[in-house]
Structure 1
Amino acid sequence: MERTAPPQETATPTPAGAPGSDVPGLLDGVPRQRSPRETAAPGVREPVPAAVPRLRTLRPWRLLPTPPGTPFTFGYAILLCATSLFSACADPALVHALLQGSSTDVAHLVRTPELVLIGSALWVAGGVTSPFAVAFVLVLTALERRIGGLRTAGVFLLGHVLATLATEVPVGLAVLAGHLPGSSLHRLDYGVSFGVAAGIGALAGLLPLPLRVPLLAGFGWILLQDLLAFSDPMTNWGHLIALVIGVATWPQVRRWRAGRRLVQASHQA
């Protein structure tokens, strides 16, 4: 009986690229293109493309105060506009009496210090077109957008109060020592310039160096020129003192700004 060989099995070609296949594809000369995930070494993550930073568009209207963005500066500016309009339209004798009653001279500081320190900051010397009125709007708006309204008010009041005391207390001591006449106790002193000067000093610490140096140098030069002119030395010294007070707040205002940025970033996440 003849023995027949078993039929040979016909091997089915495995498609190229299939798992476990050693058989090349139909086009052996063209290698298959692998994805980055296949070519990456084990345990190495695929690099994530870096995000392209967006260019910040210039928004000039942010230089001006707004009720939702800078409520402290906006409300204070409205109040100063109202008092300036009143002083321009009301009876001059009445205006002078009100200004004299809110003056931060030595006589008023001894009797009603809280009242005159607040009342003197409700007026703008020279009206709303004066340089310090314009600086008030621009500087406090920029400062409030960086550190918030309550902290901006704190910097303003710090400069206003400390610079006032630093200029008026020596006058009182000089009168007591007999170096100045008694009329020096009743000088007219009011306005927001001390607070604005402190705001300029504080804001400079939050600006980049190319803006910080010109701001401090320019404003400081103006104050030195006013002091050398000797037209109102007490007020001029007060401006310089308030500027130094603002510069002294740099460590604190920078911490406030960093904390404010963290809060804003957490809200946007």
Structure 2
Amino acid sequence: MIRRVARALGTYVSRSPVTAGYAGLLLSTHLWCTAVLSTAEAQRVMLGVSTNLDNLHDRPVRVLAGSMLFFDGTLTEITSEAFAGTLITLGLGVIVCLAWLERRYGAGRAYALFVLGHLAATLLTVPLIHVALAHGWYPDSVRHATDFGISYGAETVLATGALLLRRARWPAAAGVVAWPVLGGDWSGELPDFTTVGHLLAAALGFGGGACLLRAARRAAPAPVPQPGPALVE
């Protein structure tokens, strides 16, 4: 059993080296915050990389990059909603789907999609938050809320992967959309901004998947015409 696990892990690392390294980094930063730092110190770190309005205004590059070094979830509370989020974002999003995209299309394309989803979904929610604050639809505390992690990027590659499936494409795509819809807060005038961000990330992922499918069709060799039967005079 141990040999099988070691062999599978070695194959995973050799076939998806960038994703294996990134997953290891995410696990390391999570363990650093949960096992090394005190609760107050960990909260300061999380707030420092949160992509809220105040941080995006003061240090946009730092928080946009730093937020991708952490996942917002748990590895121990297996009956909690946070653990389900970890399974979706870190498990399915990064360890499974991002690794598969790396193997199939290369690390450059895979991580371009991931980073684009993270950046674009984050920045596209900013005007929405400003409008919602101006109309009183969101509380003012949203300006400095704790909001960090890989979930937008994970949602993007999940949507891309769903669209690239040959079988179960549409059920998988529906599941990608259902996650933020069912898990979000729709009680106010607008859904909470993270729900909107995840839906935007999914739309970006579907667009990326459509582009990859179109490129694959163009690159496919044209069918060779088969010779017809010889004519007998």
Give TM-score, length-normalised by structure 1.
0.66
Taking the aligned partners of 1:185 and 1:229, their CA distance within structure 2 comes to 19
Give the alignment of 1:99-248 within 5 angstroms. 99-128=46-75, 130-131=86-87, 132-135=89-92, 136-175=94-133, 180-208=138-166, 210-227=167-184, 230=187, 233-248=192-207
Comparing 117-126 with 213-222, greater Cα deviation is found at 213-222
Matching residue of 1:73: 19
Structure 1 unmatched ranges of 5 or more: 1-59, 263-269
How many Å apart are 1:113 and its aligned residue? 1.1
SS of equivalent to 1:124: coil
Q: How many residues align structurally?
A: 200
More relative contact order, 1 or 2 (CA 8 Å, 6+ apart): 2
Structure with a larger share of its residues in helix: 2
**Residue 70 and residue 248 in structure 1: after superposition, are their counterparts in 2 closer, same or farther (change >3 A)?**
same
Taking the aligned partners of 1:188 and 1:260, their CA distance within structure 2 comes to 44
**Residue 250 and residue 91 in structure 1: after superposition, are their counterparts in 2 closer, same or farther (change >3 A)?**
same
Structure 1 residue ranges, 4+ long, deviating more than 6 angstroms after superposition: 258-262
Question: What do residues 66-107 of structure 1 show as CA deviations (whole Å, max 9, x unaligned)?
Answer: 1x3212211110100101111111211111001101100011
The 8 Å contact of residues 50 and 148 in structure 2, kept in 1 or not, is answered as yes
The structure with more radius of gyration: 1
Q: CA RMSD in A?
A: 2.8
Structure 2 unmatched ranges of 5 or more: 1-6, 76-82, 222-233
How many Å apart are 1:178 and its aligned residue? 6.1
Percent of aligned positions that are identical: 29
**Residue 176 and residue 222 in structure 1: after superposition, are their counterparts in 2 closer, same or farther (change >3 A)?**
closer
SS of equivalent to 1:222: helix
Taking the aligned partners of 1:248 and 1:227, their CA distance within structure 2 comes to 23
